[in-house]
Each structure stands twice: as structure tokens, then as C-alpha cells.
């Protein structure tokens, strides 16, 4: 008889544009998200924080200083914490000029805008709740916003139209309690002995690529969680983490990752 041990086709590795295609356009702006699509990413990543008037905006740092002209517009408001500004104030800022003159006037998007504009792009969304400890209850604000955009809530572990991730694992546990079918990822690398416990609520473990091993990826997979690793810019390292068996690679250069993946 003929043995039927046909190896399973390798699952497709997900190409995630980190803060959008942030090597080529200012991070966490609509320009970077649109470019992620042009460069054939599968998902785009963004960072969510909360303003003083409880609006959700996209910003990586907990201050506005690095990626906007806030120091010019509000010189007296150091240290320019996101949490100390109202949305109307943040909307006066330019989040593009620091990156290059071609992006002058690019605004800080609200989460709602990104959800509205990127719906129908075909891209999935890897949504990071940044510095959740500064924004008690932000998971409730997020759930409320997502309910206004039900397209994104039509997600699951396999389709991954939306995945929510955070370095704050308690926040992810709380979000799972509110929206149980939305996949959640833990940023960082929980010790192997901690993995069974976190697998009770987490769907992904999203570690930095430094020190990532095929053995760790296998340990995560054995508990039915996925691994998305970050932030990988170098094609040689992209190939290495793919060989380790990761499910997704988070990169500022989705165009480079696309060609690495196309080469098989
Ligand atoms: O998506 C992973 C990555 O975004 C986590 O680090 O600092 O870029 O938000 P950071
Ligand atoms: Ca992030």
C-alpha cells in the first residue's frame, strides 16, 4: 500500500505593517496605513491611547513630542503627555513634517477614522493598546468604539480581521472578558512555564525577534496559540524567524517582507 503521509502545506506567514509602512511614511498616520496596503501587507498595526477627554487616538509614545510639532504649537505644555491633551488640541498638530516635507499636515488620526477608512481595504488590523496602565478602563472605551464599527468585530482566531495586543497582559485578560471572540495577543515573551496559564485567555504570543527560538515557537503552538514577532527589518532575519515557524512577522518594511515571502 501507499503511505499517505503527505506533509501539510506550510501555513501562510502573515505580513504585518508596523505602525503602517513606517519605514516610508510617518508612523500611525493614514498615509502609512494606505501605503501598507499598496505594499501588499496582510495586516497593519497601530497604537491606541486616550486623550484627556477620553477619545481614542493613534500615537506610539506616551508624549506627543517626537512625532508631532506639539512643542511649537503648545510650548508651555511640557512634557506633552497624550493624556493631558484634548482631542481638539491634538487635531491641530502636524504628525507628518517630522518624517519628511512630503507629509506636511498629516493629522494624528482617531481610532474611529482608521477603522472607518481602512474598512474595505482588505487588510486586517493588529491593534495595540499602548500604556494601558495610564488609561484605566481603556478596554471598555475600545469595546465601545469597536461596537460602532461592527465590520472589525466580525473576526476570529483564524480569519484575524482584528487582533488586539498589549504589553499589559491584565488589560488583555479584561478585554477577553468583554469581547470573548476577539483574538488577543500578549506582547513580550512569557517564560515557558507561564505559557499554559496565559493560554487560558491569550490567542497569540508576540515576542521581539531577539532570542526567539524554534523551540519557544513550538511550545506556544503546542498550547494552540500563534506567534507574531517584531520588529523585523532585515530580510535575513525575516527568513530566520520564518524558519523558526512563526505565524506572523511585524515589520516597518512590508514591501521587503512581501518579496521574502514570495521567494518562498
Ligand atoms: O507590534 C509590535 C510592536 O508594535 C511592539 O512594540 O514599541 O513598536 O509598539 P512598539
Ligand atoms: Ca505597537
In order, the DSSP letters of 214-232 are HHHHHHHHHTT-EEEEB--
Residue 100 falls inside a structural domain: no
Site to substitute for ligand 1 among 230, 248, 250, 251, most atoms within 8 A of C-beta: 230
Task: Tell me how far apart the alpha carbons of residues 171 and 169 are, in angstroms, rounded to a whole number.
Answer: 5
Residue 168 falls inside a structural domain: yes
Residue 87 falls inside a structural domain: no
DSSP-derived 3-state class of residue 49: strand
**139 ligand 1 Cβ < 6 A:** no
Residue 152 falls inside a structural domain: yes
Q: In this structure, are residues 58 and 30 in contact, taking their beta carbons and an 8 Å threshold?
A: no
Q: What is the ipTM of this complex?
A: 0.98
State the CB neighbour count (10 A cutoff) for residue 263.
8
Residue 27 falls inside a structural domain: yes
Residue whose CA is at the smallest distance from ligand 1 atom 7: 60
Residue 107 falls inside a structural domain: no
Q: Which domain holds residue 223?
A: 14-62+112-262
| Residues taking part in catalysis | 18, 60
What is the length of the chain? 264
For the chain, how many structural domains are there in total? Answer: 1
- pLDDT (tens digit, 0 to 9) for every residue of the chain, 264 residues total? 544 555 555 579 999 999 999 999 999 999 999 999 999 999 999 999 999 999 999 999 999 999 999 999 999 999 999 999 999 999 999 999 999 999 999 999 999 999 999 999 999 999 999 999 999 999 999 999 999 999 999 998 889 999 999 999 999 999 999 999 999 999 999 999 999 999 999 999 999 999 999 999 999 999 999 999 999 999 999 999 999 999 999 999 999 999 999 998
Residue whose CA is at the smallest distance from ligand 1 atom 3: 230
| Atom in ligand 1 nearest the alpha carbon of residue 167 | 5
Residue 153 falls inside a structural domain: yes
CATH of the domain at 143: 3.20.20.190
- Return the beta strands (E) in 39-118 as ranges: 43-50, 56-58
Full 3-state SS string of 137-148: CHHHHHHHHHHC
| Atom in ligand 1 nearest the alpha carbon of residue 130 | 9
pTM of the shown model: 0.96
Residue whose CA is at the smallest distance from ligand 1 atom 10: 60
Residue 84 falls inside a structural domain: no
Amino acid at each position: 500500500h501507499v503511505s499517505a503521509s503527505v506533509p501539510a502545506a506550510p501555513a501562510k506567514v502573515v505580513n504585518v505593517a508596523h505602525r503602517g509602512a513606517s519605514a516610508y511614511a510617518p508612523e500611525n498616520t493614514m498615509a502609512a496605513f494606505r501605503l501598507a496596503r499598496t505594499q501588499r501587507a496582510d495586516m497593519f498595526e497601530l497604537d491606541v491611547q486616550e486623550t484627556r477627554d477620553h477619545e481614542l487616538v493613534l500615537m506610539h509614545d506616551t508624549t506627543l513630542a517626537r512625532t508631532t510639532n506639539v512643542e511649537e504649537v503648545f510650548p508651555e505644555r511640557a512634557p506633552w503627555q497624550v493624556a493631558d491633551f484634548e482631542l481638539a488640541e491634538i487635531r491641530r498638530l502636524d504628525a507628518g513634517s517630522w518624517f519628511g516635507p512630503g507629509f506636511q499636515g498629516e493629522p494624528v488620526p482617531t481610532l474611529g477614522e482608521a477603522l472607518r477608512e481602512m474598512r474595505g481595504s482588505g487588510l486586517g488590523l493588529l491593534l495595540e493598546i499602548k500604556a494601558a496602565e495610564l488609561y484605566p478602563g481603556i478596554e471598555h472605551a475600545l469595546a465601545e468604539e469597536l461596537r460602532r464599527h461592527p465590520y472589525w468585530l466580525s473576526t476570529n482566531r483564524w480569519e484575524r480581521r482584528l487582533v488586539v495586543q498589549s504589553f499589559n497582559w491584565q488589560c488583555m485578560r479584561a478585554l477577553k472578558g468583554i469581547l470573548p471572540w476577539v483574538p488577543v495577543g500578549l506582547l513580550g515573551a512569557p517564560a515557558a512555564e507561564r505559557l499554559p496559564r496565559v493560554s487560558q485567555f491569550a490567542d497569540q504570543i508576540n515576542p521581539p525577534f531577539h532570542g526567539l527560538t524554534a523551540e519557544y515557537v513550538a511550545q506556544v503552538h503546542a498550547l494552540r496559540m500563534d506567534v507574531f514577532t517584531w520588529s523585523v527589518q532585515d530580510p535575513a532575519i525575516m527568513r530566520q524567524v520564518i524558519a523558526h515557524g512563526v505565524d506572523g512577522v511585524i515589520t516597518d518594511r512590508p514591501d521587503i517582507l512581501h518579496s521574502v515571502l514570495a521567494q518562498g
